[in-house]
Amino acid sequence: MRSGARVTNRVILVAAALLVLATGRAELQTLNTAELPLWAYGYIVPRPNPQDWSQRCLGTRPRDCDRPGGLPRDTTNELLSVDGSTRKFTVTQITSPYAPADWFSNDHPPMPDIVAHGKEQTGFRACAICHYPNGLGLMQNGPVAGLPVDYFLRQLSEFASGRRKSADLSKANAFEMAAMARNLTPAEARQAAEYFSSIPFKPWVKVIESETVPKFTATVNGLFLKADGNETEPLGRRLIELPISTYQSNMLRNPRSGMEAYAPIGSLERGRRIVTTGGERSVECLTCHGKDLRGTALAPPIAGRQPSYLGRQLWDMKLGARNGAMAPVMKPAVEKLTQDDLIDIAAYVASLQP
């Protein structure tokens, strides 16, 4: 090969490498959901016609990344209730993007306006619509209650800068979250951080080792829901997280109705060994996250939090899609993890007392 050709090819290779770094797509993010641990990202099978949501809301209008069809609808306008609350709401009120129902206002401090109502004029939905007023949330979003203020603010900054992304280009709410972070004023960001930080995270997920799981469906935004009836199906090598009550969680959005997660038999012990010793492919988690995994000055609390969320974050870090300030610290823990390891770690951590 002539030297000129070698130089030209080298330039092409360098340019391609720079493009990969700039876009983050060749290695860090994918539309091929078959490459992901499906259960962690809310898929039963690979999405047949995935759409790239990463370009939908590049500015500061988050609603442009609100995927249609993610919430239930009811045209009857019937007033509904939940046990323990004196309030009644219609489904339209329950799922209002800018004033979602608050069934139990005594369960939390007064909500800042950004949490309770968002900013309709700029398409910023209320934080409470996804994370609940108590910050516990569901499997398709993050559990934000009880996070340290500094950690919370750092994550918002990393969402805004693009250092925290989802490996799944079809995960619309991850890109909506990034636009929200860019939309927030410093004062609003701190109000949300201080509010959710002040609410203790409580036991929310019951982990069940099993060979089967109730038959279930998936919403367009990645929430698994039990199917009608009592049929089961083989669990296989998956971890399936479901609302204990489909009606309470999906229709009523009851923030006192928690989750259960079905994990393969033996997952908890295998996960305990990886978390406490590192096993063959990781490093132990206790030095950074604390001996009880309830957090330290260096790392956030993870004990008892949703296993689907934990699995997504570990995989996003493994692929480099989540590449924030602490990524170098996490790299030895995640870079060699297998999908089986992910199931075991997420099951064990989620089973712990928060």
Q: Is the pLDDT of residue 15 over 50?
A: no
Supply the pTM of this predicted model: 0.91
d(CA 15, CA 7): 12
Torsion angle, CA of 117/118/124/125, rounded to 10 degrees? Answer: -40
pLDDT at 73: 87
Mean pLDDT of 244-249: 97
Q: Confidence band (pLDDT; 50, 70, 90) for 146?
A: very high
Phi, psi of 57 (to 5 degrees): -140, 65
Strand partners, 260: 206, 242
* Contact (Cβ atoms closer than 8 angstroms) between residue 93 and residue 101: yes
Mean pLDDT of 77-101: 97
Mean pLDDT of 268-296: 97
pLDDT at 258: 97
Strand partners, 214: 232
Q: What percent of the chain has pLDDT over 90?
A: 86
Closest to 263 measured CA to CA, from 226, 211, 214, 308: 211
**Burial of 211 (C-beta count, 10 Å sphere; 0-12/13-18/19+):** exposed
* Contact (Cβ atoms closer than 8 angstroms) between residue 332 and residue 283: yes
* Angular region, 267: left φ>0, alpha ψ -120 to 50, beta rest: alpha
Q: Is the pLDDT of residue 12 over 90?
A: no
pLDDT at 47: 87
Q: Confidence band (pLDDT; 50, 70, 90) for 97?
A: very high
pLDDT at 151: 98
Q: Which domains does the chain have, with CATH numbers?
A: 44-197 (1.10.760.10), 205-351 (1.10.760.10)
d(CA 249, CA 321): 30
Q: Is the pLDDT of residue 114 over 60?
A: yes
Mean pLDDT of 329-348: 97
Q: Is the pLDDT of residue 158 over 60?
A: yes
pLDDT at 206: 98
pLDDT at 49: 86
The pLDDT tens digits for 174-195 are 999 999 999 999 999 999 999 9
DSSP state letter for 111: P
d(CA 242, CA 153): 29
Tokens of 35: 């490459």
pLDDT at 22: 40
Mean pLDDT of 47-51: 88
Q: What integer best gives the mean pLDDT of the chain?
A: 92
Mean pLDDT of 145-149: 98
The identity of residue 53, as a single letter, is: W
Q: Is the pLDDT of residue 65 over 50?
A: yes
* Contact (Cβ atoms closer than 8 angstroms) between residue 95 and residue 66: no
Mean pLDDT of 279-287: 96
Q: Confidence band (pLDDT; 50, 70, 90) for 26?
A: very low
161, containing H or E segment? helix 149-161
d(CA 264, CA 255): 27
Q: Is the pLDDT of residue 207 over 50?
A: yes
3-state secondary structure of 149: helix
pLDDT at 251: 96
* Contact (Cβ atoms closer than 8 angstroms) between residue 124 and residue 27: no
Strand partners, 218: 224
Tokens of 14: 């360098």
Q: Confidence band (pLDDT; 50, 70, 90) for 13?
A: very low
Q: Beta strand 232-234 with 240-243: parallel, antiparallel or unpaired?
A: unpaired
d(CA 125, CA 288): 34
Q: Is the dihedral of CA 245, 167, 289, 144 positive or negative?
A: negative
Closest to 128 measured CA to CA, from 199, 65, 56: 199
